[in-house]
């Protein structure tokens, strides 16, 4: 690729909407994760940045817990699940992870998705929407920041945390303190959009090599 082609590609990428994969991390029965994601998407639609969303709900992604050995080949079940989810992660310019807090950490299904992939996360920004108890899922987010750093992703500073009882979730999954939480979502999306565009342009001009 010539320098001119590279710059032209970066400009073309900059003109298109940023592609954001919204990952619903909980697969627990009776979960509120999908309702929280729906609230976030409705809020994001009013936030302003030119973003295109793709919801990846891990309740519908049947990735096995057993990973193949180094150089090994995934089994048929893993191949089928990866065929569905991996191209969507690769196509994303940024990610928003919707996660509860389980035992001061994040769900096993979410860690499993992270471990099955590597290049899909690299040189891309990640934002968080967390929920659960007095901590609002913040301990899960802090642990996720460590994992994403190892995966060469960039986590944005601000996050959305839904705390009980003050801005806990109603029965519809929407936060009770909607104004404060919507403001937090818009702030996080502003940072995500900035990093998403900057890193997309950088990847187009100089492919990332870990």
Domain 3-205 - what CATH class?
A: alpha beta
- Asked if 97 contacts 134 with a C-beta cutoff of 8 angstroms, the reply is no
Model confidence at 4: pLDDT above 50? no
What pLDDT does 137 receive?
A: 93
Closest CA to 110 of 147, 139, 160: 147
Domain ranges of the chain: 3-205
> Whole-angstrom distance between the N-terminal and C-terminal Cα of the chain?
20
Q: How high is the pLDDT of residue 14?
A: 55
Question: Residue 68 to residues 11, 81, 191: CA-CA distances in angstroms?
Answer: 39, 14, 36
A 10 A CB-CB count for 176 gives 15
Average pLDDT of the chain, as a whole number: 90
Give me the phi and psi of 27, to 5 degrees please.
-120, 10
What pLDDT band is residue 200 in, cutting at 50, 70 and 90?
very high
pTM listed for this prediction: 0.90
- Report the pLDDT averaged over residues 114-123: 97
Q: Read off the tokens for 85.
A: 């989810």
Pair 21, 88: CB distance under 8 Å = yes
Q: Quick check: helix, strand or coil at residue 68? A: coil
**Closest alpha carbon to 124 in 92, 101, 147, 102:** 92
Provide mean pLDDT across the span 133-139.
90
Per-residue pLDDT tens digits for 38-54: 999 999 998 766 899 99
**Rounded mean pLDDT of 177-186?**
90
């Amino acid at each position: 690729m010539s320098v001119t082609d590279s710059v032209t590609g970066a400009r073309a990428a900059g003109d298109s909407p940023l592609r954001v994969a919204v990952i619903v991390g909980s697969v627990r029965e009776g979960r509120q994760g999908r309702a929280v994601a729906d609230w976030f998407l409705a809020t994001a639609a009013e936030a302003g940045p030119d973003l295109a969303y793709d919801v990846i709900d891990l309740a519908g992604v049947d990735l096995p817990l057993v990973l193949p050995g180094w150089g090994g080949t995934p089994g048929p079940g893993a191949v089928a699940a990866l065929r569905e989810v991996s191209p969507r992660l690769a196509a994303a310019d940024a990610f928003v992870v919707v996660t509860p807090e389980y035992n001061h950490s994040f769900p096993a299904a979410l860690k499993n998705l992270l471990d099955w992939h590597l290049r899909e996360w690299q040189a891309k920004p990640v934002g968080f929407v967390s929920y659960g108890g007095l901590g609002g899922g913040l301990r899960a987010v802090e642990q996720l920041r460590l994992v994403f750093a190892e995966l060469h992703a960039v986590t944005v500073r601000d996050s959305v945390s839904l705390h009980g009882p003050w801005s806990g979730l109603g029965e519809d999954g929407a936060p009770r303190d909607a104004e404060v939480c919507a403001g937090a979502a818009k702030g996080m999306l502003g940072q995500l959009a900035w990093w998403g565009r900057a890193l997309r342009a950088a990847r187009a001009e100089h492919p990332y090599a870990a």
